[in-house]
Structure 1
Amino acid sequence: MSNHEENSGAVADNVTPIDAAKGKPAADGSDLPFIRFSGGWVYLKTCKTDKKGETYYSLQAVCKSHLRVIGTGWVDGEAFRVLELGKDKRRVMMPTRLIGSRDGWAFLQGHNVQVTPVPELRRWLHEYLMSETAYDLHGSPCGVLPEWDVADKPGWRGGAYLLPDGDMIGDVGNVIADFKLRSNHADVGVCGTVDSWVENVGRLLYGNDSPTLALGVAMASPMLGVLGVSGFGVHLYGQSSGGKTSSCYPAMSIFGSPSNRQASWNSTPLALTLLARCCNDALMMLDEMKLLRAMVMEEAIYGTFSQRSRMQGNKDGTLRPEYSWRCCVLSTGELAADVFIRMMTGRDADAGALVRLVQLPYRPLTNLHGFPDGSAFADHLRAASDEHYGAVGRAWVDWLSSNQTLAREKFAEVKARWNGRGTHGQHQRVADYFAVIETALTLSSKTLKLDVKECQGVLDRFYADWLVDFSKGGNGSHEEALLVERLEAVLSQHQRFLSKTANDQDYKQPGELWGYFHDRGDAREYLLFPAVFKERISGTIDAKVAGRLLHTRGLLRRHGEHLTVSERAGGYPNKRRFYALSLPVVDDLDAEEVL
């Protein structure tokens, strides 16, 4: 045997079978184990028959690095073995179809396994790899190889959490990670400690609303699976070079290198859904919304937050595998999503997209913590986040894995504070998102040295901003607010209307005639052609729904059960049907607005 066997450093009971092979082993090899793990090498019992027909048994080194089969299983109709490799005993899944083939040996060597080059010895290693017998670290048989499951995405699995690099936090059981989708934007590297992050990054967030909100979104992301809530996003918009991206760096540093985790909206909708899969149960950061084509923005938003990939078929009639995920998205851009869509396409964004991706005006950095100006402070915040990252996220997930019940109880308590916000279901849905964020900040406040009252104030201010913008100062849905906005825009185009008593021949303006106006009591009423109403006011809302909403607000006069009225106008002898509309009454300016 090699000198390595004689000086392996293994304990005596491990070396005894090897020493026995040097002496006079039993003729049938019964005193030798089938396999022995010693000194980081792997030995297998082999036999050789000489020219005289005598058979000799011995232990031969078949691998000069640690290799042990610890499990078996099936995935996509294909069998595999779970291997334990190297000094760090990392786990690797090897398809059984590769075992014994040239590709199989290349597979092992690709994982830095030092397999023997001797073909005859490889035959014995092939036999071991294909065996369903389990062997302990001493090489003793211990039953049948256990069945293992395959995790195809990172995130929560039971009470344990799988990181995108394959590491596991908590007891995940017999599960091996096989992530076919990987992205550098899901980086989970570590630099520094929790304490160093708090000292160099976390303390700088006090008094600054936007970084605090972004931190809350990051901390909320692994809580989604624990609380059983859907993913959501927050889009911070504001002027260029205002510090939006720098304010998000502390949030990105929670799980890994912020420079690596930062992705861009300059992607296809499909690419964004695949990235969301890679960031399952974690934060997904997207910068520069204006780089995404406006025509596909709603598709991208819906696709990302649908939590399931688009169903697609193969040419052979079978369905492609579907991907699912659950994550929080942090986004930045110079414009709000709905403004960008309207500016580039001329149409209004769907309210559903704006509920999934909550757009909030960016609040500039105000507490500069001694730095001369906002630019210097933002640069320091970015640099500090690049030097201290990853440790907080791992510690946070580790705490959540052991305290899931406590997290749910705290969420129920916090959610009570957010119940009843607004008068529409859309308002409450977004309020629930803020409740998740507040829960995350509250539970992590002791470790990260956060002021809970300060965090609550930040979230209250942002929610108030969102509510005013989303419902345009009203209490209804976003669709209703946009409906009134479009109504005002149409009825303000006075040149498109004729007096009810005039003849259509009197209309000399370029463009089509939209209807007529007349005074009804103290208010002016507009009689709008149904086609114009459907095209320019109801928009994506069903005309009947739009009419009922306007009637509820006192802006549409109906006739009995009909949403339209019959009137003579434009010099026509017969009555025609119109939508009878009025402009909303504007309240008098209050004292502050006058001043």
Structure 2
Amino acid sequence: MLDDRSGKGDAAIKLFPDGAGGIVCNWKGETHTFFADSGRKLSNAERAKRKRIAEQAKAEAEAERQKLASRATSQVMTVTQAATKATADHPYLVRKGIAPSGLLVEMAIERLAELIGYHPKASGEPLSGRILIAPVSIKGQPATLEMIDEDGRKSALYGGAKTGGYWCTNPLPKKVDGVTVLIGEGVATAISAHEATGHTALAALSCGNLERVAHAVRAKLPTAEIVICADLGNGQSDAERAAHAVGGRVALPTFTDGAQIDGKPPTDFNDLHKLAGADAVRTCIEGAAEVKAPPPAKPGDAETQSYGGGRFEVSKRGVFYTGTDKDGNEKPPMFICSKMAVIAKTRDAKSGAWGRLLEWQDDDRVTHRWAMPLDLLQGDGADVRRELASMGLTIAPTKAARDMLSTYVQVWKINARARCVERLGWHGGVYVTADESIGNSGEIVVFQNAHAIEPALSQAGTADDWRQSVGALAAGNTRMVFALSVAFAGALADVAGEDSGGFHLRGGSSSGKSTALKVAASVWGEPSAYVRMWRATANGLEGLAALHNDGLLILDELSQIDPKEAGDAAYLLANGQGKVRASRTGAARQSARWRLLFLSAGEESLSALMARAGKRANAGQEIRLADIEADAGAGMGAFEQLHGHGTPAEMALAIKDAATRHYGAVGIEWLRRIVEDRSSLADFLHNGMAQFVADVLPAGAAGQVQRVARRFALVAVAGELATHYGLTGWQQGESEQAAKACFAAWLDAFGGAGNREERAILDQVRAFFEAHGASRFEDMSADHDQRIINRAGFYRTGVDGGREYIVLQESFKREVCQGFDAKAAIKTLVANGWLERDGDKSQRRERLPGMGRVRCYVFSSRMWEGES
């Protein structure tokens, strides 16, 4: 009934309260409801009641399963953190003749029982002694533990998900062509295969799980060679089925006639390892054969569901519908499409926009997922079929079959729920990328891209490769270390509660600024694809920002943006919200939102670029895009250390080459670490940032400077945290010192720790008098007529012997304070003692030649004292 294993006692039955039926759950978590036959035809009300009871029972069973699975995930992390690396003297490993894998750990049974809250058993017998522990993952997330005691008795973690999960001898390769992955049933088989060949080997932990694990590997590594290392006997047909499903091969152990091990015939590759050695294992695996035809299907392989007097059937052959004619006779099955599973019901955070999560494989065996909105099926369904076909689903050409495809998607019953999100990044404790959701939220979280631009995350090589190449070459170079720390910091802005903001590396051609951008991009993806250009419209920048939410946006060549729009673009990216636009009905449509850090480069600063269009950059724009001199001051452009390379140009080529060969994997590893530690990171970030700000801020620093200092502090702490996790290979303090050096460069370019707008006001006022003090002001003590063109006011000698300027009201507003709010300018001038006041008023009544007593602004000679 449930395609269960025979003779294992592996199903559970729960009866309904009324005793009229119950629910059966098997070892795979599948459920089936049943009711007793009453011997009479049920009324519509009775059938409806039974349906409600069955649906409620399934929902309760699913909720309990998810609760247990979530608890098991927490227990896995607790146990693996407390366990120690397995040693070669463990009795099980000694008996199996294998060395401990790097991902195998161990722990005393007493300590293990204390951590997980119960004493694990195998066939009713408690495990004992030192327990080997193999952590099992599903889609990269911890799911359960395979526990093996000294006598070889095995037990899985209670409540942990096992279907589709596997244990690895070493991490899977990161999307690299030409790799081979081996899949066996047990831990010992996987280790023997790995030791003999050097290939990554996975333990599926049961023969019935081989196919699911094979699909998981194929989805992650589309071009990998997959070899199923079969056990002789019952597991052989499962291995063949798994190999055929993913285009892999099957390896069978070959023994001499009459071979015995422990008094029994040998069956697996570990037995072969013990009897004939690693060379024999390697020879059998290298001779693995292709499966020419699919093995006979086991009973129950096809899933069915009744509909409209007939039934849908989903199997490896595809999706079919079998109906009946008017006489009740069964028609031949109608092919609808290649195999496509309805994974879950989808909806957004407000329980709207309902849809279905669909999954299928194309002819290249690449797995596709699509969160399909149900409203697309309310027409003729052509949009849905067009999207599915474009991603490789084979669809029947007849109208009847195409219409039935829409019906299948809508009526196929599924209890699982998935949450659709339109933004990458943090959603509670889960970090969503375009390919996966990192973290455990109790439900599937799916990214639904509403933009035409595709996310640029990609991987090549491993995190270790990146650390030993890009990370090592960046060490000792403040601009490179800072750029990489910015790349890590983007994902922490939400945790730290910091707003969006940017950094701009300014320098001449070949100064190393673009190299720094590519190095930073290597944390997340292929540098040439990840780095974008400033040459974009406001709409384009909104789309880019939304796709880099809770991450890093990199924009090169600031000079390519229209100078008239540059300031607005800086505001747009840093403010984290796009324009509010109207929908087709005229109602306000929700605007795009994001939180990110952005890294920029160009030959001129934002203020210099805006000046070319006759616009003045205000302080708000300049602090949102902090300007940093790309030249580190060591006479080598952006570099201070060349790490054995003869010239800065050779160093730049070396680090760019490393970045193009190893990228992306370190970013995903970084996300896994911070997702796991998110609950404790807020305090860590707060304390680290506070200390950094205290170290770098001059006394009396303005609020603008403090705000930028916090952004630099986030970058410093992010780099130190990445170093703590072992991702960068730098010495502790490297990221902090780089951030301090770059902050000092920014502060110098900004003009000091005071308020930038106040300094700008004072500079402009002083410049006005320097330019016009002798030509546009009339001497009040002159005894002859003066020819003053475009007069702005008068001047006289003050009581201190210095010159005072009396400015007429209109000249003050239109020229002296041009571009600034007049009230803010007056406040600044009064605070600095440049304006003579009349009591509490900023204007004074003065008797002026030919004008009588008028209100005007009197500037004292203090404006010439010291620097503004």
For residue 800 of structure 2, what is the aligned residue in structure 1?
521
- The Cα shift of 1:122 comes to 5.3
Q: Does the CA contact (< 8 Å) of 2:312 and 2:322 recur in 1? A: no
CA distance in 2, matches of 1:549, 1:513: 21
For residue 556 of structure 1, what is the aligned residue in structure 2?
835
Q: Does the CA contact (< 8 Å) of 2:501 and 2:624 recur in 1? A: yes
CA distance in 2, matches of 1:171, 1:403: 12
Q: Identify which range, 290-299 or 118-127, moves more after superposition.
A: 118-127
SS at match of 1:450: coil
Q: Identify which range, 559-568 or 208-217, moves more after superposition.
A: 559-568
The 5-angstrom pairing of residues 342-357 of structure 1 reads 342-345=611-614, 347-357=615-625
- CA deviations on 1:280-300 (whole Å, 9 max, x unpaired) are 111111112222222222211
Q: Does the CA contact (< 8 Å) of 1:43 and 1:59 recur in 2? A: no
- Residues 495/264 of structure 1: CA separation in 2 closer, same or farther (3 Å cut): farther
The 5-angstrom pairing of residues 99-248 of structure 1 reads 99=377, 101-117=381-397, 125-134=405-414, 145-163=415-433, 165-171=434-440, 173-183=443-453, 186-248=455-517
- Residues 389/537 of structure 1: CA separation in 2 closer, same or farther (3 Å cut): farther
1:91 paired with 2:365, answer: no
- Residues 570/72 of structure 1: CA separation in 2 closer, same or farther (3 Å cut): same
> TM-score, structure 1 length as denominator?
0.84
1:12 paired with 2:292, answer: no
- CA deviations on 1:267-312 (whole Å, 9 max, x unpaired) are 2223212211111111111112222222222211111222111112
1:371 paired with 2:645, answer: yes
SS at match of 2:341: strand
CA distance in 2, matches of 1:491, 1:283: 45
1:437 paired with 2:715, answer: yes
SS at match of 1:81: strand
- The Cα shift of 1:403 comes to 0.8
For residue 738 of structure 2, what is the aligned residue in structure 1?
458
2:786 aligned to which of 484, 502, 506: 506
For residue 523 of structure 2, what is the aligned residue in structure 1?
254
For residue 46 of structure 1, what is the aligned residue in structure 2?
322
If you compute each CA radius of gyration, which structure gives the higher value, 1 or 2? 2
SS at match of 2:393: coil
Q: Identify which range, 217-226 or 553-562, moves more after superposition.
A: 553-562
For residue 811 of structure 2, what is the aligned residue in structure 1?
532
For residue 142 of structure 1, what is the aligned residue in structure 2?
none
- The Cα shift of 1:154 comes to 1.2
Q: Identify which range, 441-450 or 515-524, moves more after superposition.
A: 515-524
How many residues matched? 553
SS at match of 1:114: coil
- The Cα shift of 1:220 comes to 0.5
Q: Does the CA contact (< 8 Å) of 1:501 and 1:570 recur in 2? A: no
2:341 aligned to which of 41, 58, 68: 68
CA distance in 1, matches of 2:585, 2:375: 24
Q: Does the CA contact (< 8 Å) of 2:302 and 2:313 recur in 1? A: no
Partner letter of residue 491 of structure 2?
A: P
Q: Does the CA contact (< 8 Å) of 1:44 and 1:124 recur in 2? A: no
- The Cα shift of 1:455 comes to 2.3
- The Cα shift of 1:103 comes to 4.6
Partner letter of residue 317 of structure 2?
A: W
CA distance in 2, matches of 1:119, 1:571: 95
For residue 356 of structure 2, what is the aligned residue in structure 1?
81
Q: Does the CA contact (< 8 Å) of 1:189 and 1:389 recur in 2? A: yes
SS at match of 2:806: strand
SS at match of 1:55: coil
- Residues 573/83 of structure 1: CA separation in 2 closer, same or farther (3 Å cut): closer
SS at match of 1:222: helix
For residue 564 of structure 2, what is the aligned residue in structure 1?
295
The 5-angstrom pairing of residues 570-585 of structure 1 reads 572-574=851-853, 576-582=855-861, 583-585=863-865
Q: Identify which range, 241-250 or 546-555, moves more after superposition.
A: 546-555
Q: Does the CA contact (< 8 Å) of 2:436 and 2:446 recur in 1? A: no
Q: Does the CA contact (< 8 Å) of 2:792 and 2:811 recur in 1? A: no
- The Cα shift of 1:131 comes to 0.7
For residue 410 of structure 1, what is the aligned residue in structure 2?
684
- CA deviations on 1:382-410 (whole Å, 9 max, x unpaired) are 22212221111111111111111232222
Q: Does the CA contact (< 8 Å) of 1:555 and 1:581 recur in 2? A: yes
Q: Identify which range, 305-314 or 276-285, moves more after superposition.
A: 305-314
- The Cα shift of 1:368 comes to 1.8
Q: Which has the higher contact order (CA 8 A, sep 6+)?
A: 1
- CA deviations on 1:548-595 (whole Å, 9 max, x unpaired) are 2222223222221121233344565545522314324237xxxxxxxx
SS at match of 1:109: helix
- The Cα shift of 1:342 comes to 3.0
Partner letter of residue 357 of structure 1?
A: L
- CA deviations on 1:206-261 (whole Å, 9 max, x unpaired) are 22221121111111011112222211100111223322111221101111111112
- CA deviations on 1:435-491 (whole Å, 9 max, x unpaired) are 211110110013211233232222222223323433x33x43111111121122112
SS at match of 2:515: helix
Q: Identify which range, 429-438 or 563-572, moves more after superposition.
A: 563-572
For residue 4 of structure 2, what is the aligned residue in structure 1?
none
| Backbone CA RMSD of aligned residues | 3.2
SS at match of 1:352: helix
1:544 paired with 2:818, answer: no
For residue 774 of structure 2, what is the aligned residue in structure 1?
495
- The Cα shift of 1:146 comes to 3.6
Q: Does the CA contact (< 8 Å) of 2:346 and 2:371 recur in 1? A: no
Structure 2: gaps spanning 5 or more residues: 1-243, 246-291, 632-636
CA distance in 2, matches of 1:202, 1:57: 65
- The Cα shift of 1:98 comes to 5.1
SS at match of 2:705: helix
1:449 aligned to which of 729, 741, 754: 729
SS at match of 1:567: strand
CA distance in 2, matches of 1:314, 1:104: 23
- Residues 538/194 of structure 1: CA separation in 2 closer, same or farther (3 Å cut): same
2:761 aligned to which of 476, 480, 483: 483
CA distance in 2, matches of 1:245, 1:308: 27
Structure 1: gaps spanning 5 or more residues: 19-28, 135-144, 588-595
SS at match of 2:323: strand
For residue 654 of structure 2, what is the aligned residue in structure 1?
380
Partner letter of residue 476 of structure 1?
A: G
For residue 337 of structure 1, what is the aligned residue in structure 2?
606
Q: Identify which range, 542-551 or 167-176, moves more after superposition.
A: 167-176
2:866 aligned to which of 559, 573, 586: 586
Identity %: 25
CA distance in 2, matches of 1:208, 1:507: 62
SS at match of 1:156: strand
CA distance in 2, matches of 1:97, 1:296: 39
CA distance in 1, matches of 2:784, 2:357: 83
Q: Does the CA contact (< 8 Å) of 2:311 and 2:323 recur in 1? A: no
Partner letter of residue 846 of structure 2?
A: E
- The Cα shift of 1:160 comes to 1.9
Q: Does the CA contact (< 8 Å) of 1:502 and 1:569 recur in 2? A: no
Runs of 4+ in 1 over 6 A off after TM superposition: none
- Residues 452/132 of structure 1: CA separation in 2 closer, same or farther (3 Å cut): same
